[in-house]
Structure 1
């Protein structure tokens, strides 16, 4: 009984994926989690909880360990952003009319070079992390800059704000377009190793939410020696790897000119295709490359919004799924102009529609399980993203033993989503059903509808009026 009394309880409508991209919705669920944020019990029907347990819940209500959502609210797992450039948040929304390589030279590298100033790093990193939490992102895979000390600043921002995340200093030793923004090979490898040791020993002793990640920028900015050195570090320390792969036609042409082989095989030769490695974009991956990634246990961060601007194509996530490659969603700030994972979900559906249009395929000619819908987008932003990062046993859904990373959604926040007229909905009395409310959330909501956010059971964001 004493252990039960220490638990915290949330009762609400609940939506999550438990296996694949099919959303399970419960109209009245009750979740119990402990002070460390571990989910101890999930009742899919709170009304079926026995009387003795309800006495325990009532006691929790009296001492502030109980929260109940109202009719317009429901609980979803925290969103997982599998690809975001933290320093690029500072100029998000700029320069999207340029080709990728020009955009990098004109905007990205000069902006990132400024992060050698730790005050600038502190200001912009804190803004990015806070904004992500306000939008419901509880876990993020971050690219930082080449600066080791500034990357530590990003790590401490995550710790201070309570977000779960992977943090990596960018490794790059080739950059002829902006020669002042780069590193010597040996220095890049030393910095990467120093950060792994720092994050593992100094920070993970008390905060398991923070993880290091090796971050070769992309092949044109990395020598083969650097890639192989990072592959050695990945094996030595058993850490995650992130980079870009098969992103755009101009990058592929540059890789072919320099190396005479596609970037997938360069990553594989360097032992960077491995379990726990995630590569952004993958738009132009060929079948043999997808099969190789599946064999190695590597995943793709699908960045549909930035792909519209820079990739000269769209990732067909159905091909990736069929090949056995895990796929998460990425905002790809600032190639993507929005940090919102809701926008990423909607963009994923649009990208699928664009592929159908290009192929002159009618949606009604496809079986339902071969469609990319709002449910598929939600899956990639939650459980699918967790699986892509190798964290499916820890986050991504509401199951016993997982962490309570959660977002309380409020469809009735004033000034955004108007209620569906009574009589049009499929729910009781002609009101919107739970499934319709969920779909409207994915398609219409923004940060105004994010009421509360928890990471590891700790409330890390409460919108005004929801304290």
Structure 2
């Protein structure tokens, strides 16, 4: 059956290109949720479809936008979201992160409660695809996967692998045991969620270089390569972490990941704030994507990510919230923060006369990072409205007969959705403007 949606669609098919497609008709083919038709409503093909099917009409003052992608979120840390951000990274991990993760692994009922609420909060914030760090215990990560699947979210779930430099009570006993645990988790995930329409997948997840021996990283790299699995970790995140790796291993962590075959087109590395130009080029050459987390970078890194440079080098980049290193689950907040940080970098650039090239990004580029850029980084066929892509979308309501919705105010009667109006929503909008969501063509809220 073909389901039709008629109305205004907004997307960013390229980094600095915004398209507002008024009175378009989109057709979704069930049960696979792929876009089979997308054209103006008055086109001959659309007219023929409208003669056979009744569309769902998106009312005036509303538009359809691709869902957001969150490339980096620590699911168990949702338990203490908004706490402990006064500490440096390594101390914060010991005092908050490891304890919360261990608590979740020891309490299945708590894990179910936390992860169910996390999934609901993600939908409220328009996040349709999320890459998740879990815990070290297999059963707890299977709970996480089930909660995401039950909510209908597109989720990439990582069982943590770490065999050193963690809490004595929260560590895997050896590299061999850790590798076998990662294999067991991935196998069970693939058996339970084998293919579309299921949208939940396992991710090989070495926490970061300090907590993983070379033997563990090498084994995970070989396994991920052999099975074509996704990979996620942290790279060049903070000054103390970078220094610790250099002291312990004698090389930077990008070299450690590279020699273990963990930089691949299926890899997402979070932060990357201390990478220079040649290292960014290395990510581009290997197809490795970056999860840019501007809020948590402000708390835990002495450097901002070189976003403009990475984009100019065609590195794949999307946005991450990094809860709980970042306190907000909202990718809308991450978009705004990404622009603000880039403008501060450009201000320093101007004052220091460092470069004639602007380091700033604008709101359209940030919207791209949150949607198509994130989807490309994750390797999923969504993020833009094109025939053959998955219909992952959200309905945004700006106004109705009584005026602007939520935080939005409009004073021009008869206004049409324009770039200025979309920008106003981008700056001021919140969850009150989100009326619906579809993942893989299925309505979720």
Same structural fold, with TM-score higher than 0.5 when normalized by the shorter chain: yes
Among 192, 196, 204, the alignment partner of 2:182 is 192
**Displacement, 1:79?**
0.7
CA contact (8 A) 1:175 1:181 kept: no
**Displacement, 1:206?**
5.8
Partner of 1:456: 440
**Displacement, 1:258?**
0.8
- Paired with 2:369 and 2:258, the residues of 1 have a C-alpha distance of 25
Question: What secondary structure is seen at the aligned counterpart in 2 of 1:84?
Answer: strand
- Paired with 1:21 and 1:160, the residues of 2 have a C-alpha distance of 35
TM-score under structure 2 length normalisation: 0.94
Deviation by residue 1:265-316 (Cα, 9 ceiling, x = unmatched): 0000100011110100011102221111111111101001111111112112
Q: Does 1:218 align with 2:208?
A: yes
Partner of 1:444: 428
Question: What secondary structure is seen at the aligned counterpart in 2 of 1:305?
Answer: helix
Partner of 1:412: 399
Question: What secondary structure is seen at the aligned counterpart in 1 of 2:436?
Answer: strand
Residues 445 and 205 of structure 1, relative CA distance in 2, 3 Å threshold? same
Question: What secondary structure is seen at the aligned counterpart in 2 of 1:13?
Answer: strand
Partner of 1:343: 333
Tell me whether 19-28 or 238-247 shows the greater mean CA deviation: 19-28
Question: What secondary structure is seen at the aligned counterpart in 2 of 1:395?
Answer: coil
Partner of 1:76: 65
- Paired with 1:21 and 1:147, the residues of 2 have a C-alpha distance of 42
Q: Which runs of 4+ in 1 moved over 6 A?
A: 365-368
**Displacement, 1:96?**
1.0
Deviation by residue 1:33-84 (Cα, 9 ceiling, x = unmatched): 11121100101x32x233x8446436533xxxx3212221101011111111
Q: Does 1:318 align with 2:308?
A: yes
Q: Does 1:401 align with 2:388?
A: yes
- Paired with 1:270 and 1:171, the residues of 2 have a C-alpha distance of 14
- Paired with 2:250 and 2:316, the residues of 1 have a C-alpha distance of 28
- Paired with 2:201 and 2:190, the residues of 1 have a C-alpha distance of 7
Question: What secondary structure is seen at the aligned counterpart in 2 of 1:17?
Answer: strand
- Paired with 2:383 and 2:12, the residues of 1 have a C-alpha distance of 8
Corresponding residue pairs, total: 438
Q: Does 1:96 align with 2:85?
A: yes
CA contact (8 A) 2:35 2:387 kept: yes
**Displacement, 1:8?**
0.7
1:357-372 equivalence runs, <5 A: 357-360=347-350, 371-372=360-361
**Displacement, 1:134?**
1.3
- Paired with 2:216 and 2:131, the residues of 1 have a C-alpha distance of 21
1:145-156 equivalence runs, <5 A: 145-156=135-146
**Displacement, 1:357?**
2.2
- Paired with 1:318 and 1:407, the residues of 2 have a C-alpha distance of 28
5+ residue gaps, structure 2: none
Partner of 2:21: 26
- Paired with 1:366 and 1:121, the residues of 2 have a C-alpha distance of 50
Partner of 2:37: 41
- Paired with 2:418 and 2:128, the residues of 1 have a C-alpha distance of 24
Partner of 1:377: 366
Deviation by residue 1:341-361 (Cα, 9 ceiling, x = unmatched): 101110110110121122235
Partner of 1:137: 127
TM-score under structure 1 length normalisation: 0.90
